[in-house]
Each structure stands twice: as structure tokens, then as C-alpha cells.
Structure 1
Amino acid sequence: MASEITYAEVKFKNESPAPAVKGPPETKKPEQHPQKYPLWLPWLISLLLLLVCIVLVVVLLVVPFCHSSDQPSALQQQFSQWECDSAVPQGTDGGWTCCPKGWKRFQGSCYFLSSDTMKCAESAQNCSGMGSQLVVISSKAEQDFLSKLKNQQQKNQQLKRDNFYIGLFEKKEGQWQWVDKTPYNETATFWRAGEPSDGHDENCTVMHMPEESLNNWNDVKPDVPHYRICEAAAVIV
């Protein structure tokens, strides 16, 4: 008789359980708290915005009138009282055209007619000292304006029958030149009949006071005192 084979499950007490596989430890996320700003920060931002607005107003309104970004002209440095109007030449950005008080404006220039007399060189120096020059006449309209102006001043101030120096000089015999080097154009001159004369010592030019017509230029000796007409570019603001 064949013997039976019996199977039995044997458990050992000292057998240790299989180690559990552990994953990496979970990192704990820090708690997020709303960021806190100082209480004075909104006030600081508001103050900065206000300052920016003030600077913009100064740049847009004040600077153009003060010409703080540009060097003031010699004329501006000499005079503190000005007369302005809104008749602005075309092509300019400014809103006012200004001349020193007592000067007369025509187009883009300011003119000063003196009430005292000086010699030719002294007249040129006097105009330069005011930031201007003896007048340079370049058109019939300008000649007409100045002729009427000098006749009116003669009547209003009861000036003597003297003449007005202008900025035209005889550099060499028969070679006339304007004080600002503007080319001399014979077709745009206003000499009296028979002028300029052939005298070697008459190398300065005046507007003849008694002459009523536009052709009133006369060459004279430089050492004779006369009135003078100064001219400077008008200031546009």
C-alpha cells in the first residue's frame, strides 16, 4: 500500500515582512499670505503724479514764453519792457510777436527811430549796443513804411530837418554794402535824383528828411551828426 504524502504550510516566527517601498517625502507648501504695502505708498505715488503734471504744465506753457531752453537774443538782454500782438507771420509756431516798448514793428522786424543825433560810426555802435543794427532796407514796402514813419516822427516830435542814417556804406569807390553783408541790389534802391554823388568822402547813407517821395536816400560825410534808424528781428513767443 502506497504511503500518502501530506503537505503542510510552515510559518516561521522570525520571518520579517517585506519592506514597504516609500516614496520621497512630500514637501509642504508654504502658506501664501497677501502682501502688505506701507500705508504711505499710495500717497507717495499720488504726489509723484502731481509733480509730473506740474512739470508738463511748465514745459508746455511757461518755457516757450521764457525761452529758458534758448539763449536770449542781444535785444532781449537789453530791454525789460515789451509790446506784443498776435499778428504772427505765417510758418511760425509762436502766438505773439514782440518788440521793445517804444519800437515800431513791421512784418518780422522792430524799428527804433532816434530823437538825438550822432555821427555815422557812433550811430552804428549805438544800434549794436541795443542788440540791433542800422536798418537794412530790402523791399519797397519796407521803404514806404519807414518813410512814413520818419515823416510822422518829425511832425510829432518837431525834429530838426536832419536826416536818418541807415545801414548802407560805400566800402570802396562805387561799391556799396549793407551792414549785415546783404548783397547790394541796384534794382531795389531808393536814391534821390543825382545820388549817390561822386564824392570820395561821402560813404554813409541817410534817408533825407525833407524828401516826401520814396526815393529819399542820400550819401553823406560820416562826420556829420544825423538821426538813425535801428532794426532788429522781432521776438516771437
Structure 2
Amino acid sequence: MESEITYAEVQFKNASPAEEVEVPQKKKKQEQRTQTYPPWLPWLISLLLLLVCAALVVALLVTHISRSCDEPTALQLNLTEWHCILAVPQGKGRGWKCCPEGWKRFQESCYYFSADQMPWDESQQNCSGMGSHLVVINTKAEQAFLYKQITPKNTYWGEGINLYIGLRAQEVGQWHWTDQTPYNVTAAFWRPGEPSNSTNEMCVVIHHEKQNLRNWNDVPCSIHSHRICETAAVTI
């Protein structure tokens, strides 16, 4: 008996074309999304933020420095009339040196010679109230300038005038300048025989006499004398 051969028809359900294409399309969309921004863009953004921060810091520093330079001193607030001299050639920045009207300029400082008289402590307070201090003499050139200012004709000062300077002793022989400048014996201009280093003579005056550059004298701090105030010249 011949064996029967049975054929079974097996059909496989093929995927639809739409389903075959669906997966690649999703992959393409994901690839497109991941490549939207170039890899160097975050570095560029970081660099720009850093530059902006640096620019802000520089601007703040410049503003602070400018305000510090332009901030008026007590002397500038109290006095409004100024006398200015061009100290450097034009075109080379800030070069006008200015002193209040009635003050005398020498190098980088302005000097005020008082017409009234008072004790040393009150003299220092008076100078301080104008944004200055009793004069501190550092060089022979400065001493010569002060001497010259006291000697012009038609002055209201007579011979033998005393003017307080910013030199004082807390202990006998221990001289100190009012602005804490170290006392330099080589730049001191005592009269012959001075200082007397007496316990009741702890302050110093310029005792003006003609043709005598060495004119410092220690005196009691309570005597009423004229004074010389000093402050830094204003540069504009």
C-alpha cells in the first residue's frame, strides 16, 4: 500500500511595509535629536559667560577707582576757590596741581600761613578741620621755601615771629612729627643752642629772623603763635 504524502500548506504572515519602515524612522528621529547641538557649543557658552563675568569685574573696579580718585577731601569740601598751575606738559594726562585760594604750593603740597595765633593743640585742630595738619618739614628745599614765604615785604608779620610746625615731644628730646613721619636729625634746622630740651618746652616753632635758615626753636605748647598748615596738592 502506497503511503500517502500529505502536504501541509504553511503560510507565514509577513510584516506590513509600514511596520518594516517604522523602526528605522524612529532611529533617524533620535539621531537627529542628538545631533541638534554641536559638541563645542557648551564650551562656547561657558567661555562667553566667563568673559561677561570678567567684564563686570573690570567695570566695578574701574568705577571704584574712579570714585576713589574723585572723592573730595575735607579740604575740598570746605573750600571752593582754587588756584591751579600746569605742572606737566599738556597732552600727558592729569597735570594741573591745585591749591585752595590763599594757600602756597611747593612741589606736591599746599601750605597755609595763619594770621591769627593760638596754642599748639588748637593750631593742630584748626589745621585738621581744614583737611590738613601742621607742616612736616622733610628737606632743606622745603625749609627754604617756607623761609622765603615768611620774608616778603609788606607782610603782617614782624621780626621775631613764631609759627608752629608739626614737631612735638611727648618726652624730653623724643621728637615726633604729627603725621608719624620719623624724625630725621640730618633734616632738622634748629637755631644755634636749640633745642633746649626743657620739660616745659615740648613744641616747636619756626622763629623767623632775616638771613637765617636755621630757625627752629622749642617752646612751651601753651604759647599763642601763628601756624603753618600743610596738605597734599590736588591733581586734576
TM-score by length of 1: 0.67
Q: Distance in 1 between matches of 2:185 and 2:164?
A: 19
2:157 corresponding residue in structure 1: 159
Q: Distance in 2 between matches of 1:67 and 1:94?
A: 16
Q: Distance in 2 between matches of 1:87 and 1:75?
A: 21
User: CA 1:69 to 1:113, structure 2 compared with 1: closer, same or farther past 3 Å?
Assistant: closer
1:59 corresponding residue in structure 2: none
Identity of aligned residues (%): 54
2:132 corresponding residue in structure 1: 132
Cα deviation, residue 183, structure 1 = 0.3
1:199 corresponding residue in structure 2: 198
2:95 corresponding residue in structure 1: 95
The residue identity in structure 1 corresponding to 2:225 is H
Q: Distance in 1 between matches of 2:189 and 2:83?
A: 30
TM-score by length of 2: 0.67
User: CA 1:69 to 1:98, structure 2 compared with 1: closer, same or farther past 3 Å?
Assistant: closer
Cα deviation, residue 95, structure 1 = 2.4
The residue identity in structure 2 corresponding to 1:158 is Y
Q: State the Cα deviation string for residues 183-208 of structure 1 (Å, max 9, x = none).
A: 00101100001111031010110000
2:120 corresponding residue in structure 1: 120
Q: Distance in 2 between matches of 1:110 and 1:213?
A: 23
The residue identity in structure 2 corresponding to 1:157 is T
Q: How does 1:72-83 map to 2 (within 5 A)?
A: 72-83=72-83
The residue identity in structure 2 corresponding to 1:134 is L
- How many matched pairs? 169
User: CA 1:142 to 1:74, structure 2 compared with 1: closer, same or farther past 3 Å?
Assistant: same
Contact kept in structure 1, 2:151 and 2:210, CA below 8 Å: no
Contact kept in structure 2, 1:162 and 1:209, CA below 8 Å: yes
User: CA 1:69 to 1:144, structure 2 compared with 1: closer, same or farther past 3 Å?
Assistant: closer
Contact kept in structure 2, 1:86 and 1:95, CA below 8 Å: yes
Query: For the aligned residues, what is the CA RMSD?
Result: 2.1
Q: State the Cα deviation string for residues 57-92 of structure 1 (Å, max 9, x = none).
A: xxxxxx9xx968632112111110001010149xx9
Contact kept in structure 1, 2:109 and 2:230, CA below 8 Å: yes
1:24 corresponding residue in structure 2: none
Cα deviation, residue 169, structure 1 = 0.3
User: CA 1:133 to 1:193, structure 2 compared with 1: closer, same or farther past 3 Å?
Assistant: same
Contact kept in structure 1, 2:197 and 2:218, CA below 8 Å: no
Q: Which deviates further from its counterpart, 209-218 or 100-109?
A: 209-218
1:142 corresponding residue in structure 2: 142
Q: State the Cα deviation string for residues 99-134 of structure 1 (Å, max 9, x = none).
A: 000100000000000111111111111100111000
Contact kept in structure 2, 1:86 and 1:97, CA below 8 Å: yes
- Say yes or no: does 1:214 pair with 2:213: yes
Q: State the Cα deviation string for residues 166-191 of structure 1 (Å, max 9, x = none).
A: 00001212100000000001011000
